[in-house]
Structure 1
Amino acid sequence: MMKSVLERIESIQKEIDYSGTAYVKSGEDILIKSYGYSNRGEKIMNEKDTRYGIASGSKLFTSIAIGQLVDKKIISFDMKLIDCLDCQLPFFDKNVTIHHLLTHTAGIPDYFDEAIMNDFEDLWIHTPMYRVRDLQDFLPLFQGRKMVSAPGEQFHYNNAGYIILGLIIEQASGLKFSNYIEQFILKKAGMLNSGYFELDALPEKTAMGYMQNQDGSYKTNIYSIPAKGGADGGIFVTAEDMASLWASLNNGELMSCETTKRLLKHQVHVEKDIYYGYAGYMQVSNDYVEKHILMGYDPGVNFRSVYYRGTGLTIIVLSNKNDGAYEILRGIEETIVD
């Protein structure tokens, strides 16, 4: 079967010029294949242990950290924001809870509303991206805005909510957000090659993100995203490390059994058979979660991953260009699942 999968990946890669690493684990069989350049200027190729940014795919790490703090009884999913965070948020509804923030139903203002904004780079016209390195640096982008809707009223994807969750993690743990993730999630899951890196100090084997200009040339995303990502996106992972996270999470190695089950349960209906839970999007049939879905998009970053609950099929597609991850993932699913 993996031969057919590889042939499908190769075909799609040639068609769309995919750049990145694709990982597939089906039963005992594992396939890892890389394409394109991690550094186009130096002609350094992407390899199986190359680290990639995964943008909003990073939200899963924030959710797990919240779950761990719930296990320690420092916070609870139903705790109100005003009771677990000392922060100036003058227009936020006092009934916003951690549950609302995790499920994008808090109704708070977002700093990048994907429903009405098209260009992430527009954020940095008045706020220099090189000064955005800590969670507090994101606050001026949204803390003075009014609520968009009442808490619990509707699902509306929200990045600012996860910045707030990151601040809760910092206050509850006494650690800087990235340090907490590295100590209590990355190490526990064996993700030794992953981390929150600054764009102007990337370690070796880290892919630079690229965007294509109209004339066909490429530019890096160093001026298009924060110098260091926050709790809503910003971690860099290898394909194998991401697979380790899926395994650790589903094996109950990161949280208690009860909290793990709650994290993996669907919570809010989005559309058709797609729901959102504390662990991202989920495809649900007859109240059973068939597939977990992670995705991330930033300028020069494209990420897709799925985990099938029944079979353990794990697919991870990392890209250091604007697109390509979905096409590769869908081709793999069509070959194995459909």
Structure 2
Amino acid sequence: MRSLADAVDETAERTGFSGVVRVDRAGRTELCSAFGWADRAHHVPHTVHTQLAIASGSKGFTALVVMSLLERGLLDLGTTARSLLADDLALIAPDVTVEHLLRSGIGDYLDEHDLEVTDYVLTLPVHQLDSTEQYLPVLEGHETAFAAGARFAYNNGGYVVLALLAERASGVAFHELVRTLVCEPAGMVDTAFLRSDELPGRAARGYLHRHGLRTNVLHLPVVGSGDGGAYSTAADLAEFWKALFAGRIVSRASVAAMLDPRSDWPEEHQRFGLGFHLRASGDGVWLEGYDAGVSFVSAHDPATTTTCTVMANWTDGAWLMVRLLEEQFGL
């Protein structure tokens, strides 16, 4: 029977995987391997320390910022968006609360049902989107799809609004909130919202296709916000899950509330908590990101303390590797 390392190597060779794969179980790293190019043009290879974009995986960080502010008394799940938005984003209904934004939808500036992730979808030049307040023009003008709490709909705009509410409630910029409330207590030293037009040497460029040099720099905000855009490493993600379940980011009671299934998502064969994907049954939980030049999953099984992380720097690069690990570990 082939070993896990052999299976991962074979899958990487067959699929053109480019990125990092890591598996931790019961406090031990069983596998951590890097494949392909972090920078194709200059033939810079991935290493296990490469910082890769995680796209919507960042939503979990946003949810944790919100829960941390709840614990500090600066927000509440029942806080209405309108109470902090004032006259901004007038189409967000008066009854939409923080909890609604965490688990259901408002009118979405980036509706993934209506586009391909490699399309040019933003209505502003991407270089203007370098802070959460700068997102206001793209969040405007989207009618609410259904009454608050009526049903579940995966939503990007809601998480940018959550970042905006967190800023206004705390008086601190969102990226600073992620750093101080999530990354520092978790020991995530290599996780940050990096500018895509000035990436440091250890950060991977995101490529649209399996082959070629075209990157995603014109497809995404130059700096991400509440719905995506953080860069991280496989080691940091392993630390994240340990810190989360140890209650070092928010209390264990808050973690339990976030991982309580709030919504069914039958078309995706899963459930959704507050910022986290949940298996249709069992305790498996994960973060996932998919965007132009980015595909990412980090999954954790608290019963076996198994964490599997797949980080890829081209649009569809992660999924066959993710399938292999799902088959191996049932995550």
| Larger mean Cα displacement after TM superposition, 196-205 or 76-85 | 76-85
Distance 1:76 1:212 in 2: 42
How far residue 119 of structure 1 moved from its aligned partner, in angstroms, is 4.1
Match of 1:111 in 2: 109
Question: Match of 1:13, as an amino acid?
Answer: A
How far residue 40 of structure 1 moved from its aligned partner, in angstroms, is 0.9
Match of 1:22 in 2: 21
Deviations 1:52-85 (A, max 9, x none): 0000000000000001011011111122212243
Larger strand percent: 1
How far residue 141 of structure 1 moved from its aligned partner, in angstroms, is 1.6
Equivalent of 2:165 in 162, 165, 168 = 168
Alignment of 1:220-259 (within 5 A): 220-259=215-254
How far residue 298 of structure 1 moved from its aligned partner, in angstroms, is 1.2
How far residue 200 of structure 1 moved from its aligned partner, in angstroms, is 1.4
Distance 2:272 2:94 in 1: 23
| Larger mean Cα displacement after TM superposition, 81-90 or 184-193 | 81-90
- Partner of 2:231, secondary structure, is strand
How far residue 245 of structure 1 moved from its aligned partner, in angstroms, is 0.8
- Partner of 2:181, secondary structure, is helix
Distance 2:227 2:124 in 1: 18
**Aligned pair in 2 of structure 1 residues 15, 305: CA closer, same or farther (>3 Å)?**
same
Match of 2:125 in 1: 128
Question: Match of 1:311, as an amino acid?
Answer: T
**Aligned pair in 2 of structure 1 residues 269, 199: CA closer, same or farther (>3 Å)?**
same
Distance 2:195 2:329 in 1: 37
Please, which runs of 5 or more residues in structure 1 have no aligned partner? Answer: none
Q: Which of structure 1's runs of 4+ aligned residues deviate more than 4 A?
A: none
Deviations 1:186-218 (A, max 9, x none): 1111111110110112122000101228xx423
- Whether contact under 8 Å (1:305, 1:329) holds in the other structure is no
Match of 1:309 in 2: 302
Distance 2:36 2:3 in 1: 21
Please, which runs of 5 or more residues in structure 2 have no aligned partner? Answer: none
Give the TM-score normalised by the residue count of structure 2.
0.95
Equivalent of 1:277 in 266, 273, 276 = 273
Question: Match of 2:15, as an amino acid?
Answer: I
> Aligned Cα RMSD in Å?
1.8
- Whether contact under 8 Å (2:298, 2:309) holds in the other structure is yes
Match of 2:56 in 1: 56
Match of 2:6 in 1: 7
Equivalent of 2:136 in 139, 148, 151 = 139
Distance 1:145 1:29 in 2: 47
Distance 1:87 1:319 in 2: 40
Equivalent of 1:324 in 310, 317, 320 = 317
Question: Match of 1:170, as an amino acid?
Answer: E
Identity of aligned residues (%): 29
Deviations 1:265-311 (A, max 9, x none): 111111175110113110143xxx42002211111111011111211
1:267 aligns with 2:236: no
Give the TM-score normalised by the residue count of structure 1.
0.93
| Larger mean Cα displacement after TM superposition, 56-65 or 250-259 | 250-259
